[in-house]
Amino acid sequence: MRARSAMAVAALTALVLTLPVATASATPATPRALPVGPGQATAPGAFVPIGLTRALDTRSDQENPAGAARKLQPGESFDVPLSAWQNHPPRELPVVPADATAVVVNVTATNTTAAGYLTVRRDGAMPGAPVTSTLNFEAGETVSNMITVAVDPRGANSSPQINVYNNAGTTDVVVDILGYYAPSTPQRPGHRYDPVRPTRLADTRVEGGRLGRGGVVTANVARRDLGTADATAVVLNVTAVDPSTEGFVVAHPSSWPLPAEGSHLNYGPGRTVANQVVVPVGPEGTIEFFNTGSTDLVVDIVGYYGPSGHNLYSAVTEQARLLDTRPGAGAWAFSTLEFPVAGRSGVPDNATAVTLNVTATEPQADGHLAVFAADGTAARPSTSNLNFDAGRTVANGVAAQLGGNPGSVAVYHHAAGFTQVIADLTGWFVKG
């Protein structure tokens, strides 16, 4: 992979995690629920982690399938190939195979010139603008989001692909692949998923002390007490708490070298930022988090993939809105919202967990959201999924276990005043 240049590092250090949402000055996607039924979700697949792999950087001649560095234009729908392609000089991506059903990517908008949104989707040939968004941005902002999206197998040159739609202004876009779902084969033994009750693995505020430039946190993720002893990849929520500088965090198996490009979590001074990440697990069972700025770091585990996992994943071909508290009062101070998921928008009754984009917008005070199974028996976890500042829209990808009858999700709102909450469905897990 191409090593980070000084310019690339400067451009990426200020990444801020968000998810699809309308803000006061951004142009929102039309909020409406999408009826996703049979035939509108991918076949269940097992997961194959590949680590951080750059698929697109519109700022780079070598990492843009268009053949030259150029920004996305307003209203442009841009196809992103996920398997091998060549440019000048010749370059090859690690292959996402033709039978892949869905891909997990980090998507970033940077160098934006107007308020707008990006939508990451399966098929760019659909008429009209997308009806949901993946991330919203203001002019001059850099915004990122991790999303799982169904793969279009009909790409150019037989490469599976996804599509990025830019709503307004011009923007550069960066796409990094973290892994993909596909039928398991002897040559490619993908693994099944199991959720884990959200559990804190590391917190430098409690142990180890604040991280400086070059600081490393090591977390043991393959643990018998969590049921993750044979994990081949883990799903984590990583949070930079009260950073005093710009910087980024890169996660990788302890036995692997630091990736040459890409990052999992980017932050700026004064803002607590979280991101969900998927990271392969090496034979030693630990993951390192390399930091480039000054921040405290919190790491929570929410799920894992491995031979002992039970669940396969289906991605919706179009995102569906399950919850939007606007234009009402939203979530009141220190309250819990519960909403049914199973049986809605195509989610089968036997789904065990879902992947969501969860957004806090128009918050009246600083706070956080915690997303968990609404089973009515267990206490809410002592972890969080996203943190927000008063008046700012913040969001994050969530893998949420389902509880209750029908399967439902709970969102705990820890803040004074109220906050509007949005949840968009991207897929679900079923035993298989």
pLDDT, tens only, 17-47: 333 333 322 333 322 232 333 348 999 999 9
Residue 310 in this model has a pLDDT that exceeds 90: yes
Whether the predicted pLDDT of 72 surpasses 60? yes
Question: What pLDDT is recorded for position 392?
Answer: 85
- The token pair that represents 68 in the structure block: 């030259």
Q: Residue 156: what pLDDT?
A: 62
- Are 19 and 143 in contact by the 8 Å Cβ rule? The answer is no
What are 230-286's pLDDT values in tens digits?
A: 999 999 999 999 999 989 999 999 999 999 888 898 888 988 989 999 999 999 999
The Cα 321–Cα 31 span in angstroms is: 7
pLDDT in tens, 332-347: 999 999 999 999 999 9
Q: Write out pLDDT tens, residues 135-182.
A: 878 788 777 889 999 998 876 666 889 999 999 999 999 999 999 999
pLDDT tier for residue 129 given thresholds of 50, 70 and 90:
confident
- pLDDT at 407 (0 to 100): 93
**3: pLDDT strictly greater than 80:** no
- Least confident segment among 214-228, 232-246, 261-275, 304-318: 261-275
SS3 133: coil
Contacts of 108 (CB under 8 A, 6+ apart): 12, 15, 142, 143, 144, 173, 174, 175
As a whole number of angstroms, the distance between CA 155 and CA 83 comes to 10
CA distances from 367 to 119, 364, 371 (A): 27, 9, 14
Strands (E), 58-87: 77-81
Rounded alpha-carbon distances, angstroms, from residue 179 to 14, 102, 196, 312: 24, 9, 20, 14
Highest mean pLDDT among 47-61, 125-139, 298-312: 298-312
Main-chain dihedrals φ then ψ at residue 226, nearest 5 degrees: -95, -5
